[in-house]
């Protein structure tokens, strides 16, 4: 495999960015970074709380700043970005310029089930506790974000993405 520097994982909430990102980082023996966790450290509160008190606009500014600060400070990592990170402040352009972007393209139905299993309250963009309504919310979000996600250098369309599939795409 070519020398890996910065790998940015993008996709909708619950697409597996954090879970698979940790596995990939361990496999490559490089650092794993969860962008949302880094933002929480910077702002001193959870993402849902920050969203509630400061609004999405202020959150997106902190997200951009944190993304760029990490990219400037570190040369090797696997980063799970927040689902909206690629869609604001030219973040997708920045990530493509700085490293390799991988889009985890998972169906809205599968994502809705995962979100319900993990707890809707942990996802500030989703309001519905009804599976059918949540599927529609995920579809709407996907429609708004797909153009950004599709700018990723690597796209993996699968409801059951595995570490082996990611490695295979990186090696090709």
Q: What is the CATH number of the domain that holds 123?
A: 3.40.50.300
- Give the whole-angstrom CA distance, residue 172 versus residue 167: 9
Expressed as residue numbers, the domain containing 23 is 6-167
pLDDT 10s digits, 101-160: 999 999 998 998 888 778 666 666 666 667 788 888 889 999 999 999 999 999 999 999
Q: Is the pLDDT of residue 92 over 80?
A: yes
Number of domains in the chain: 1
Residue 92 belongs to a domain: yes
Residue 73 belongs to a domain: yes
DSSP string, 58-69: HHHHHHHHHHHH
Residue 1 belongs to a domain: no
Residue 31 belongs to a domain: yes
What backbone torsions phi and psi does residue 90 show, to the nearest 5 degrees?
A: 55, 30
Residue-wise over 16-25: b if at least 16 C-beta within 10 A, else e?
bbbebbebbb
Rg (CA), the chain: 15
Residue 94 belongs to a domain: yes
According to the model, what pLDDT value does residue 1 have?
Answer: 45
CB 81 within 8 A of CB 8: yes
Cα-based distances in Å from 89 to 84, 94, 104: 11, 9, 21
Query: How high is the mean pLDDT of the chain?
Result: 91
User: What's the pTM value of the predicted model, to 2 decimals?
Assistant: 0.92
> 16 in the Ramachandran plot: left (φ > 0), alpha (ψ -120 to 50) or beta?
left
């Amino acid at each position: 495999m070519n020398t890996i520097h910065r790998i940015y994982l993008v996709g909708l909430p619950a697409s597996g960015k954090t879970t698979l990102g940790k596995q990939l980082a361990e496999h490559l023996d490089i650092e794993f970074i969860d962008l949302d966790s880094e933002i929480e450290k910077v702002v001193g509160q959870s993402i849902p709380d920050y969203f509630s008190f400061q609004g999405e606009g202020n959150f997106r500014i902190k997200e951009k700043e944190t993304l760029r600060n990490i990219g400037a400070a570190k040369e090797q990592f696997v980063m799970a970005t927040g689902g909206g990170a690629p869609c604001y402040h030219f973040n997708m352009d920045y990530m493509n310029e700085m490293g390799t972007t991988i889009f985890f393209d998972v169906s809205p139905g599968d994502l809705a089930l995962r979100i319900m299993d993990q707890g809707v309250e942990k996802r500030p963009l989703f309001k519905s506790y009804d599976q059918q309504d949540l599927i529609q919310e995920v579809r709407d979000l996907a429609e708004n974000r797909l153009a950004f996600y599709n700018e990723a250098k690597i796209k993996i369309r699968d409801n059951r993405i595995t570490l082996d599939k990611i490695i295979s795409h990186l090696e090709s």
